[in-house]
Structure 1
Amino acid sequence: MNSAEDTSEDGPGADSDDDVIDSDDDDDVQTGASGKPYLSLMQSLVESAPHKAKRRKLDHPSAEDRTEQPTPESAVNAAGEDDDENSEDVDRVEEAEEDPADVKPEDLFDYDDEEADAEDPFETHFVDLDQALLLPRLKAIQEDKWRTHRVVAKPMRTLIHTPGVGDPSDSGDSALLPRPVSGISGLKLKKKLSETMGPKHATFDPTEQTIAPLLFNYSDLLYCNRTVAGAESVRRMACLHALNHIFKTRDRVVKNNDRLSRQQPGSEDLELRDQGFTRPKVLIILPTRQSCVKMVEMICNIIEPTQQENRKRFDDGYTDKQSKFSDDKPDDFQDLFAGNDDDMFRLGIKFTRKTIKYFSQFYNSDIIFASPLGLRMAIGSEEEKKMDYDFLSSIEVVIVDQADALLMQNWEHVEYVFEHLNIQPKDAHSCDFSRVRTWYLDDQAKYFRQTVVLSAFNTPELTELLRVHCHNWAGKARLQQECAGVLQQLGVKAKQTFSRFEVPSVAGDPDARFAYFTKAIVPALAKRGAKDAGGTLIFVPSYLDFVRVRNYFANDAAAESITFGTISEYADVPEASRARSHFLTGRHRVLLYTERAHHFRRYQVKGVRRVVFYALPDNPLFYAEIAGGFLQRSEQALLLDPSRGAVRAMFSRYDVMKLERIVGTQRVAKMLNDQGDTFDFV
């Protein structure tokens, strides 16, 4: 076992303790492809770099090159603050891609002597495929023909999307849902996982029972009810599913290796297609290093490894036990930002018999953990002329956890990663093409990949991700709970007025919103007398809208009498403190405040007498914290009359998801369709 103190990136035995090259499942199915993708792929790989087919050694770029042109083999410092050229990047790996000829028998992964179960979703999804079902579905997906079924499955609203199957008017067809699962015994798990999980977690809680049937059935899943209380349950199911997939994939490869080794000379060659182009099979996208730590700890808790190679190095680079904020922060904030909140990382992990090895080179890994930023920098860009995304070519399970937090980072990075999934590789990477599944060769891997997105709530970005990048032939599901709303959770007496403005199209929403704001909101602010002038906080979720409103207050004659301050996600601590102080003392009558500033800082702003929501927040908790918490703090600090608190919120018909979470499912339809455009709540 290597110790974490090893100063060399190439630890002892780096080329000898990997398992088997690739782990895809056996599948001889012909999906009706013409064969051209296979021929073009083989030709491109031969022409690209035939001398690299056996082993690819890694370059050793300088510290400056690692910063400017990151690759999976030379990762940029996860903290993004490598001031010392000689400082070691904790995520950087200098390890050669493993050659199957170098793998020793004692390093192979143990496999269970189990017979394949014909009812196992793993078998039916990847191995023993029903051609009569598969081929029509692949054709429907390629033609973008999907049927949507609304299924009544309390307490969740469930939408099932099947490729070209069923009547679009179908409703309440519970047969579309996999059978319920109440515990470990109801899952088709590998024996080793059942033995470790059974004694300590035999029965599932309600959260696990909700997601387990679809998760283990290999359907794409958008789960929109991830809570802090249920976070551990969600992680447990995600990790258990990922491990089950890896172990079943690996066992098949090892068994087939054993069959080939026993084959008699001169006998007919066995055609055993059980692999992909590269080894990594599971990609887990997370917002912070601490989120990665929680996932890794859950994996260790499930499989109970005898050894953990490079664990100290992992702890040093990923854990942070220092308290960085006070205990009065909300639970969701502490859950996300406690510990190491760095959002730039990528980590490869591989499994051997009894060992977990951290910081394995991507092409030698079973699971890749990464933030969207870290993975995008690992892939590179066309401008850098040094792109590498072959390690994503054979990903079969993608898990995006805490997607609501990723929306507060840069969502374009997530989209960039999905655009580079399951693309046929540029290099061979020691691949044995006689073992590669047929649908990989036919460039159909994206139709077999399962994507799991776990979020506290749904947004248009998540829905679009499911629509554009999820092509699973097994279908996809969206689980979303009905909302009670947060109008009664303010904790303070305040009149809440929701004003609807008309919008011709989605593209016209920003202009229509700005026009309504300048005509209906600003004049009232400008006319207020000096006695009742201050204390207006304007919440602007989008930074682009924030800049537009800020420039309007700074330059337009209609707002010249309004003094204002700003707090955005780019404001440093002194700047934000000055803005809050000037707002409290009345020097600034208006304070512009962005959603990301609140997400990352959770400032407690005093002096708020009225709140204007330029647009509703995605996170309904923010509405309660700003509309209720800020007014409540101001009452206590300034002895305000509670009846003077007022909230004004602007919305259009394209804000339906946000509005539903705030006013509740029962009210949202009336507010969107009613002839009136103003709705008051107290």
Structure 2
Amino acid sequence: MRARARGPQQSRGRFDSQRLAEVDEVEGPIPEEEPEEESEDEMDSDDEDDEESAQNAQPYMSLMRSLVESAPHKAKRRKLDHSSTEESAKRSKTKPASNDVDMDGEPQDGDADLVDEPEEAPEEIDAPEEVAPEDLFDLDDNLDTTDPFETHISAPDDAIVQPRLRAIKAGNWRTERVTSKGTRIQVNVPNVDGSDGWSMPAPVNGIADLKLKKKLDETLSKKHATFDLVEQTIAPFLFDYQDVLYCNRTVASADSARRITCLHALNHILKTRDRVIKNNARLAKDNGNVDVDISDQGFTRPKVLILLPTRNSCVKMVDMLCSLCEPDAQEHRKRFDDTYVEKDTRFSDDKPDDFRDLFAGNDDDMFRLGMKFMRKNVKYFSQFYNSDIIFASPLGLRMAIGSEEEEKKVDYDFLSSIELVIVDQADALLMQNWEHVEYIFEHLNLQPKDMHDADIGRIRRWYLDNNAKFFRQTVILSAFNTPELTELVRTQCFNFAGKARLQQECPGVIQYLGVKARQTFSRFDAKSIAADPDARFSYFTKAIIPMLTKRAKDATGTLIFIPSYLDFVRVRNYFANSSDLDSVTFGTISEYADVPEASRARSHFLNGRHRVLLYTERAHHFRRYQIKGVKRVIMYGLPDNPIFYREITGGYLQKSEQALMLEPGQGTVKVMFSKYDVMKLERVVGTQRAAKMISEQGDTFDFV
């Protein structure tokens, strides 16, 4: 089953317990942590150490006490005893990995989700005390006060952070707007009294302008030392750890956007990993007697979450990561290729480029995948609590988390320490179930229910203070902006470094239809966004329906495009039940129509048996039907994707002209819009025209 066939049905359906069981069998369950047995002497001595350290950390005393009481055996500081590699290997087989296990070079075996493929030989790594620290991590891993990783994640300055946190919690943001290289930039930053104001981040033209890990710097300097325009636009905000909403993602720029975000994710993962390795070696050298505070971890290991629409999108992201880090080996790559890579093309050659980019290859929208980075290797299908990066579709991750309505235990602790979220192709996720995305964000950076063998002494203080969401960076890549994306950024993004929206001015698509047609835009008034659906339906029944019923034969060839399925049901029921429309036959194609049903509707519309065809935006997104016989297009609402406007108006009318069913220039387009459609309107008519059409007194605008 594929996303094109079942994506819309899943987008509004309930969870299927049988499907969940099948997915868990394939993808692997999230493991339950098993306690580590230890002697009473060890527990007593370590509890005394923790009690003493807790007295020196009053702001989170209550949290530490509750964690120790709920899991006393996990509250101890982990001993770094590497006297025997044999004993180390034995421990790795008898208990699940902790937050930083394998960060110190210990290979892990026995993952529960690797039952259908033999375990590959683990990488042989010497114990830390037998290897010089400089061989375990890059020499550039020393503290650099100009490195955004240090100032934002590793060693933030409380004098800067705390005032910003107070401003964010009070909802006090300041908005700055600038234009750079043709891109409109809107930045929201915490409004701190006495601050010097906001300034643009330093420009980034290539890797020389970034604080990259030595390994990444060496790799990219050979093949991609200079960034293109898309990378230069995103990089200053991305590597400054600000939240980014990039609204100009296209098929042509997809690789550039993917490469710069993958580079940032890898840089973050490697710096986090090497910092832990360095501190492990330091503790091992001093037998754990280190006076300085070593805080280098979160509650759990996963640090990066990447949300994607299809398995094929996951393949592209994984391949980009591997091309940047160039691992010596990729464990379980064959299994990944078998379950994620699909080279067969299942659709005709007339599909547009954006459709091919999204649905080519394996278009299954139900998946989740953990990836773990070791010294020289990467490992696929690692359990979530052992992973550095989690790739998932919203549906796949939602089912992994579970629901209170299901028998499966709800578990979102693996999202507690996510520091970077990348949402790629967000415009495609909007066509799935956006509620899954909102659900996932609501469960990010919550305090975990269990300790999962974490070392409390090494957890960063802002995790313990429940401030993780203020340090998390969110990056959203979309072809366009929508109210849903804007609301997600407003309600779920609280980055103390600020958040930036990058968007180019829209020239509009009305002049690129490829056919001459009269386009009439009619504005109706709605008192509020909540009243918009009722006002739209009222205008439709009073102003549009009389055009169809005045002379029924003139209604032949009318396509009514309806973006929302709820509006579609309302209009369909009106056509079926209203006595005013008894003489107007109609057919329907929605996202829930199967292929035979849609074929019949198209056939009846072409031969005139159905004078009117009701057509939804999601049906067009997942199918891209080539509908023939269209003479008039009525848009109940504008589509989010401006490409759809061009395809449905210009493309369909042009086919009718070529088939001699419509005289050239006789096609018409009627569009309904309100002031709450300004984002959609801007992409269709252009930024400057949209502002006038929303504010002018007249309510009808004609374009030829």
TM-score (norm: length of structure 1):
0.86
Q: Is the 8 A contact 2:165 2:470 kept in 1?
A: yes
Task: Please show how residues 476-625 of structure 1 align to structure 2 within 5 Å.
Answer: 476-530=499-553, 532-625=554-647
1:74 CA drift (Å): 8.4
Distance change >3 Å, CA 439–CA 658, structure 1 → 2: same
Letter in 1 for 2:172: K
1:627 to 2:654 alignment? no
Alpha-carbon separation, structure 1, partners of 2:187 and 2:194: 12
Rounded Cα–Cα distance in structure 1 between residues aligned with 2:401 and 2:119:
16
Which residue in the other structure is 1:188 paired with?
211
Q: Does 1:280 find its partner at 2:302?
A: yes
Task: Rate the CA distance shift 1:539–1:545 in 2: closer, same or farther, 3 A.
Answer: same
Q: What does residue range 424-463 of structure 1 map to in structure 2 within 5 Å?
A: 424-463=447-486
The more displaced of 636-645 and 512-521 is 636-645
In the comparison of the two structures, how many residue pairs are matched?
A: 616
Q: Does 1:655 align with 2:674?
A: no
Residues of 1 paired with 2:486 and 2:494: CA distance?
13
Partner of 2:105: none
CA 1:538/1:370 → structure 2, altered by over 3 Å: closer, same or farther? same
How big is each residue's C-alpha offset from its partner over 1:144-163, in whole Å with a ceiling of 9 and x where there is no partner? 11100111213110001001
Q: Which string of whole-angstrom CA distances, capped at 9 and with x for unpartnered residues, describes residues 373-394 of structure 1?
A: 0000000011225100000000
* Structure-2 residue corresponding to 1:78: none
Deviations 1:53-110 (A, max 9, x none): 799979xxxxxxxxxxxxxx989xxxxxxxxxxxx998x9999xxxxxx99989x994
Residue 244 in structure 1 maps to residue 271 in structure 2: no
Compared with structure 1, are the counterparts of its residues 659 and 8 closer, same or farther at alpha carbon in structure 2 (3 Å cutoff)?
closer
Q: CA deviation at 1:48?
A: 4.1
1:513 Cα deviation after fit: 0.3
The CA deviation at 1:128 is 3.0
Contact conserved, 1:607 with 1:638, CA < 8 A, in 2? no
- Asked if the contact 1:224/1:455 (under 8 Å) is kept, the reply is yes
CA distance in 1, matches of 2:607, 2:241: 57
Q: Partner letter of residue 418 of structure 1?
A: F
Residue matched to 1:113:
139
Equivalence for 1:674: 696
What is the aligned-residue identity percentage? 69
Task: Give yes or no for contact 1:9–1:93 (8 Å, CA) kept in 2.
Answer: no
Q: 1:204 is matched with which residue: 217, 224, 227?
A: 227
Closer/same/farther in 2, CA of residues 38 and 384 from structure 1, 3 Å limit: farther
What does residue 397 of structure 1 align with?
Answer: 420
Comparing 452-461 with 323-332, greater Cα deviation is found at 323-332
CA 1:566 to 1:143, structure 2 compared with 1: closer, same or farther past 3 Å?
Answer: same
* In 1: Cα distance, 2:397 partner to 2:72 partner: 27
The separation in 1 between residues aligned to 2:586 and 2:483, in whole angstroms, is 32
Q: Residue 227 of structure 2: SS of its match in structure 1?
A: coil
Partner of 1:331: 353
1:336 is displaced (CA, Å) by 0.4
Is 1:146 matched with 2:169?
Answer: no
Residues 361 and 8 of structure 1: is their aligned pair in 2 closer, same or farther, counting only changes over 3 Å?
Answer: closer
Q: Quote the Cα distance in structure 1 between the aligned partners of 2:663 and 2:27.
A: 66
User: Which secondary structure does the structure 1 equivalent of 2:225 belong to?
Assistant: coil
The residue identity in structure 1 corresponding to 2:495 is N
Contact 2:630 2:656 (C-alpha < 8 Å) held by counterparts: yes
| Partner SS for 1:221 | strand
Name the amino acid aligned to 1:121: P
Q: CA shift at 1:129, angstroms?
A: 2.1
2:151 is matched with which residue? 124
Structure 2 Cα separation of the partners of residues 103 and 295 of structure 1: 32
1:294/1:103 CA distance change after superposition, 3 Å: farther
Structure 2 counterpart of 1:160: 187
Asked if 1:383 is matched to 2:405, the reply is: yes
Output the amino acid matched with 1:606: K
Q: Determine the C-alpha separation between the residues in 1 that align with 2:563 and 2:290.
A: 66
CA contact (8 A) 1:656 1:668 kept: yes
**Coordinate RMSD, CA, aligned:** 2.9
Contact 1:74 1:94 in 2 (8 A): no
User: Measured at CA, do residues 571 and 207 of structure 1 come closer, stay the same or move farther in structure 2, by a change above 3 Å?
Assistant: same
- After superposition, the Cα gap between the structure-2 partners of 1:656 and 1:105, relative to the gap in structure 1 and judged at 3 Å, is farther
The Cα shift of 1:557 comes to 1.4
CA contact (8 A) 1:616 1:649 kept: yes
SS in 2 for 1:199: helix
The answer as to 2:362 corresponding to 1:340 is yes
Does the CA-based 8 Å contact 2:385-2:414 persist in structure 1?
yes
| Partners of 2:572 and 2:644 in 1: CA distance | 21
Structure 1 counterpart of 2:494: 471
Corresponding residue for 1:644?
666
Q: Which has the higher helix share?
A: 2
TM-superposition CA deviations, 1:348-389 (whole Å, max 9, x none): 000111111000000000000000000000000112251000
Alignment check: 8 A CA contact 2:28 2:112 kept: no
Would you say the 8 A contact 1:151–1:158 is kept in 2? yes
Alignment match, 2:319? 297
Alignment match, 2:394: 372
Task: Return the offset for 1:47.
Answer: 4.7
Aligned residue for 1:650, secondary structure, equals: strand
Report the secondary structure of 2:437's partner residue.
helix
Moved more, 118-127 or 282-291: 118-127
Secondary structure of the structure 2 residue equivalent to 1:643: coil
Q: Kindly provide the amino acid, as one letter, of the partner of residue 261 in structure 1.
A: A
Question: In structure 2, how many angstroms separate the alpha carbons of the residues matched to 1:383 and 1:74?
Answer: 25
How far apart, CA to CA, are the structure 1 residues paired with 2:27 and 2:312?
25
Cα distance per residue 1:226-267 (max 9 Å; x no partner)? 0100000001001100000001111111111111112168x5
Number of the residue aligned with 1:80: none
Paired residue for 1:179?
202
Structure 1: tracts of 5 or more residues without a match: 1-6, 16-33, 59-72, 76-87, 96-101
Question: One-letter code of the match for 1:320?
Answer: E
1:112 counterpart letter in structure 2? D
- SS in structure 1 opposite 2:604? helix
1:111 maps to a residue whose letter is: F
Q: Over residues 255-305 of structure 1, what are the superposed CA-to-partner deviations in whole Å (9 max), with x where a residue is unaligned?
A: 11111112168x563320111000000000000000000000001111111
SS in 2 for 1:269: coil
Paired with 2:509 and 2:72, the residues of 1 have a C-alpha distance of 62
Distance 2:342 2:204 in 1: 37
| Structure 2, unaligned runs of 5 or more | 1-25, 35-55, 79-91, 97-110, 121-126
> Per-residue deviation at 1:111?
1.4
CA 1:302/1:329 → structure 2, altered by over 3 Å: closer, same or farther?
same
Amino acid at match of 1:484: P
Distance, in Å, in 2 between the alignment partners of 1:379 and 1:502 is 42
Q: Distance in 2 between matches of 1:660 and 1:93?
A: 55
Q: Distance in 1 between matches of 2:586 and 2:222?
A: 61
Q: CA 1:225–1:268 in structure 2 vs 1: closer, same or farther (change >3 Å)?
A: closer
Contact 2:129 2:284 in 1 (8 A): no
Deviations 1:602-645 (A, max 9, x none): 00000000000000000000000001001111111234112320
Q: Does the 8 A contact of 2:370 with 2:390 survive in 1?
A: yes
Between 1:35-44 and 1:397-406, the stretch displaced more is: 35-44
Q: Which amino acid aligns with 2:139?
A: D
Find the aligned partners of 2:643 and 2:663 in 1 and give their Cα distance. Answer: 24
Q: Which residue of 2 is the match for residue 321 of structure 1?
A: 343
Letter of the aligned partner of 1:664 in structure 2?
G
In 2, Cα distance between equivalents of 1:566 and 1:184: 53
Distance 1:186 1:627 in 2: 46
Q: For the residues of structure 2 that align with 1:526 and 1:89, how far apart are their CA atoms?
A: 64
Alpha carbons 2:515, 2:665 under 8 Å: kept: no
TM-score relative to the length of structure 2: 0.83
Greater mean alpha carbon deviation, residues 511-520 or residues 551-560: 551-560
> Contact 2:519/2:670 (CA < 8 Å) preserved in 1?
yes
